[in-house]
Amino acid sequence: MFITFEGIDGSGKSTQAKALVEALKSQNVPCTWTREPGGSEGAEAIRKLLVEGDPNRWSAETEILLFNAARRDHLEKTIAPALERGETIVCDRFVDSTRIYQGVVRADLRETVDIMHKTMIGREADLTFIIDIDPEVALTRGLARNSGEDRFEDMGLQFQKDLRAGFLELAKQNPERCKIIDGSQSMEDVGRDVLAAYESAQP
């Protein structure tokens, strides 16, 4: 199974992606955690270009090309081989982030993102968790981390509000694949909801 986690910056999705991997491993499900941008040596090098530095460093169009370059390498080196070995992949962000960050909020480029994805990547997740949270809470949490990877957080609160609306709309358009999880709860309760939604998605 190919599982992705999505959400605005500081939503807690990275913690939840790792918690799901631990839960699946404890059920003896062979499982690999990975992330985007990144997840392979080449893609991690491209990540640095994308998440650090001035918010105006790249246009939305250039970002689409860089995210896709990173994603293609990640797919070839990490995702496809793990799925072929029969493992479940849990990926922190995937193409839905490009659809919303670059395709809807940074610019009106959703069709370009979809065409590029179909041509160069051609794979969708089987199940996507969208961790939904108040952007003010998330932004405070995200910036407090001082990770040095704040390029998108530095785009401001309205940017995060627009992202949230974009992810909720995406979930509405893809109700089978996308499960919205209330990220305002305690970490344990969010994890419990993720696991319950995972279990009910099993054939």
CA 27 to chain CA centroid, Å, is 24
Q: Does 36 bind ligand TMP (CB under 6 A)?
A: yes
Token digits for 169? Answer: 């709309």
Stretch that binds ligand TMP, among 35-43, 79-87, 173-181, 195-203 (CB under 6 A): 35-43
Contact call for residues 86 and 120 (beta carbons, < 8 A): no
* Nearest-5° Cα angle at 124, 123 to 129: 150
Is-contact 175 101, C-beta < 8 A?
Answer: no
Q: Measured from the CB atom, is 82 or 116 closer to ligand TMP?
A: 116
Question: Would you give the binding string for ligand TMP spanning residues 60-79, x where CB under 6 A is met?
Answer: -------x------------
Stretch that binds ligand TMP, among 93-101, 116-124, 132-140, 183-191 (CB under 6 A): 93-101
User: Which residue intervals of the chain are DSSP H helices?
Assistant: 13-26, 41-51, 60-74, 80-84, 95-97, 110-120, 135-144, 157-173, 187-200
Stretch that binds ligand TMP, among 16-24, 30-38, 79-87, 170-178 (CB under 6 A): 30-38
* Contact call for residue 162 and ligand TMP (CB under 6 A): no
Smallest distance from ligand TMP to CB 24, Å:
20
Tell me how far apart the alpha carbons of residues 197 and 201 are, in angstroms, rounded to a whole number: 6
Residues that bind ligand TMP (CB under 6 A): 9, 35-37, 50-51, 67, 93, 97-98, 101-102, 149, 152
